[in-house]
Amino acid sequence: MTTVPKIGVRDALLGVCVALTWGMGIVFAKAAITHFPPILLMSIRFAITALALVWWVKPPVGQLKMLGLIAFISAAMQYSFTYTGLKGLDASAAALIVQLEVPFLTLCGMVALKEKTSLRKWLGIGIAFFGVWKISGTPHIAAAWISVLMVIGGAAVWAVGQVMIRQLHDIDGLTVIAWVAVWAAPQLLVMSLTFETGHVEAITSATWVVWGAAFYMGLVMTALGYGIWYTLIRRNPVGQVAPFLLLLPLFSVAGAVIFLGESLSLQVMIGGAIVLAGVAIIMFDKNA
């Protein structure tokens, strides 16, 4: 029997850094969208990512059209849904609801890629959705049900985009990030100009804190975070790296409480624990 080597201390620390980087991103975004229209903010975010990365990777000739479609689904549509929904929710609640990305990815894999699943994964999917239902029953969150549905929709669209990315061949992760950003920035700008207002005022009156949040999301959360993530999954089995993502909502919740002054009701905490339990069951399943 071949023994799978355990993840090293350095890579474990990098896994924690990825969860921290991504988890704090939603906190920075919540702070920024009090000033910026959310879709415009995402356009600026991906413009920053594209300008930082595109010079270091070769154009993926032959796959640019596919990357444009992936960008539209996994970035333009997904972030428009997720961050417009975030505008109407606490960052802590949104961070827990968005964990439905994992169940949706499992379902998309079953439908699109004909991946086998197990009763344990089905149980995890059901538990995760029950947890979100529990969170959504909180009175102030139930009143923002459109925002909840938008965040759930963003999670579903993200999963579709990830399945599409898995269909790409002979292209590394950094190139995918760079060229998705190149496509996503103008796509998001068009969507912002179509559905949002107040662009000029938002840009001209933005403080250094708002611009700092935009650069954090473009450089640290996206360029650096995904760069580390793809390095980890190239060096280690995905099953050993994926559990670090369970830390992501914990960092988001802690950041929202510390920096945004949010407070969690008992029902949200219970629902969040149920969601994470369901996601953990899916991630740690080895029978599918």
The tens digit of pLDDT for each residue in 107-144 reads 888 888 777 778 888 999 999 999 999 999 888 899 99
Q: In whole angstroms, what is the distance from residue 30 CA to residue 44 CA?
A: 15
According to the model, what pLDDT value does residue 286 have? 64
183: tokens are 């496509």
At 30, which amino acid appears?
K
97 and 132 Cβ atoms separated by less than 8 Å: yes
60 and 129 Cβ atoms separated by less than 8 Å: no
Query: Helical H runs in 113-246?
Result: 119-136, 139-142, 145-165, 173-195, 199-204, 208-215, 225-235, 238-241
174: tokens are 């950094």
User: Residue 102: enclosing H or E segment and its boundaries?
Assistant: helix 101-112
According to the model, what pLDDT value does residue 170 have? 79
Is the pLDDT at 237 greater than 60? The verdict is yes
Query: Helical H runs in 216-284?
Result: 225-235, 238-241, 247-259, 266-283
166 within a domain of the structure (yes/no): yes
Over residues 157-190, the pLDDT tens digits come to 988 988 888 778 778 888 888 999 999 999 999 9
167 within a domain of the structure (yes/no): yes
The conformation of residue 74, written as its DSSP 8-state character, comes to I
Q: In whole angstroms, what is the distance from residue 106 CA to residue 162 CA?
A: 11
Hey, CA dihedral for 37, 43, 48, 49, is it positive or negative? Answer: positive
According to the model, what pLDDT value does residue 168 have? 80
Region 68-83 average pLDDT: 94
**Distance (Å) of CA 116 to CA 2, 107, 134, 238, 263:** 23, 10, 29, 17, 40
Q: In whole angstroms, what is the distance from residue 162 CA to residue 269 CA?
A: 29
261 within a domain of the structure (yes/no): yes
At 262, which amino acid appears?
E
Burial class (CB in 10 A: 0-12, 13-18, 19+), 9: exposed
Is the pLDDT at 285 greater than 80? The verdict is no
At 14, which amino acid appears?
L
Q: In whole angstroms, what is the distance from residue 38 CA to residue 33 CA?
A: 5
According to the model, what pLDDT value does residue 242 have? 74
Over residues 11-34, the pLDDT tens digits come to 889 989 989 999 999 999 998 998
pLDDT band with cut points at 50, 70 and 90 for residue 1: very low
Q: In whole angstroms, what is the distance from residue 181 CA to residue 130 CA?
A: 34
Where in the sequence is the domain holding 52, given as residue range(s)? 9-283
2 within a domain of the structure (yes/no): no
Q: In whole angstroms, what is the distance from residue 26 CA to residue 249 CA?
A: 9
According to the model, what pLDDT value does residue 284 have? 80
Q: In whole angstroms, what is the distance from residue 144 CA to residue 147 CA?
A: 5
The conformation of residue 236, written as its DSSP 8-state character, comes to S
Is the pLDDT at 209 greater than 70? The verdict is yes
According to the model, what pLDDT value does residue 193 have? 96
Is the pLDDT at 207 greater than 60? The verdict is yes
Lowest mean pLDDT across 155-159, 160-164, 250-254, 275-279: 160-164
Looking at the 3D structure of the chain, how many domains does it have? 1
- Give this prediction's pTM: 0.89
What integer best gives the mean pLDDT of the chain?
Answer: 89
Q: Which of 235, 180, 276, 264 minimizes the C-alpha distance to 10?
A: 235
According to the model, what pLDDT value does residue 109 have? 83
